[in-house]
Amino acid sequence: MFTWRKNTRGHVSVLKHFLNKGHEKIVEDATNVLEKYNNPIIEDRIQQWRDGKKHEPQDLLDVFVSLTGDNGTPLLSADENKAQVNEIMITAVDKPSNNLEWALAEMLNNPETLQKARDELDTVVGKDRLVQESGFPQLNYIKACAREAFRLHPIAQFNPPHVRD
């Protein structure tokens, strides 16, 4: 597994012929800012688990840090934990909009699903107004379509239950 910094530099070196020096510096600077804010939090959380101050995972970072092999040793190193968190944060920038596109593409390929979603919108919201946040709880079919799009096209490639030694 690559660490984020190695992975970023690997991407930059591959793209070096296409990017001018300004873009390479922008990517490097963005990586440094991300690490400046994330790394202390991640290191603190790892220390909390080592010191026994945390016993139950409360978020995804806790899941990453608490994963252990059969012999009780951590499955992910500190650098690997940092890489996973940074990858998720970078992926989160554009992935939700990409998932919306995937959901619409899936619905276009299944006209019955699209029609059910349109019918639900017409019933719950109406044809003459925009969807308001207060209407989301009643849009159960559309929420199910969104969940299915996220299942078919996941935001992050890393899935903690499938980590192996």
Q: How confident is the model at residue 85 (pLDDT cuts 50, 70, 90)?
A: confident
| Average pLDDT estimate for 17-37 | 78
| Average pLDDT estimate for 29-50 | 91
| 71 domain residue, yes or no | yes
Query: Which pLDDT belongs to residue 1?
Result: 39
Query: Which pLDDT belongs to residue 62?
Result: 92
pTM of the model: 0.51
Work out the number of other CB atoms within 10 angstroms of the CB of residue 24.
15
| 165 domain residue, yes or no | no
Number of compact structural domains in the chain: 1
Distant-in-sequence, close-in-space partners of 23: CB < 8 Å, separation ≥ 6: none
| 139 domain residue, yes or no | yes
Task: Provide the residue range defining the domain that includes 123.
Answer: 4-156
Higher pLDDT, 12 or 23: 23
pLDDT in tens, 116-142: 999 999 999 988 888 888 888 999 999
| 38 domain residue, yes or no | yes
| Average pLDDT estimate for 95-124 | 89
Cα angle 151, 153, 158 (rounded to 5 degrees) comes to 85
Statement: residue 5 has pLDDT above 70: no
| Average pLDDT estimate for 86-94 | 75
Of 39-48, 82-91, 134-143, least confident by mean pLDDT is 82-91
Statement: residue 21 has pLDDT above 80: no
| 163 domain residue, yes or no | no
| 36 domain residue, yes or no | yes
Return the percentage of the chain with pLDDT > 90, whole number. 36
The answer to whether the CB of 43 falls within 8 A of the CB of 78 is: yes
Q: What is the DSSP code string of 132-150?
A: -GGGGGG-HHHHHHHHHHH
Question: Tokens for 69?
Answer: 């092999």
| 162 domain residue, yes or no | no
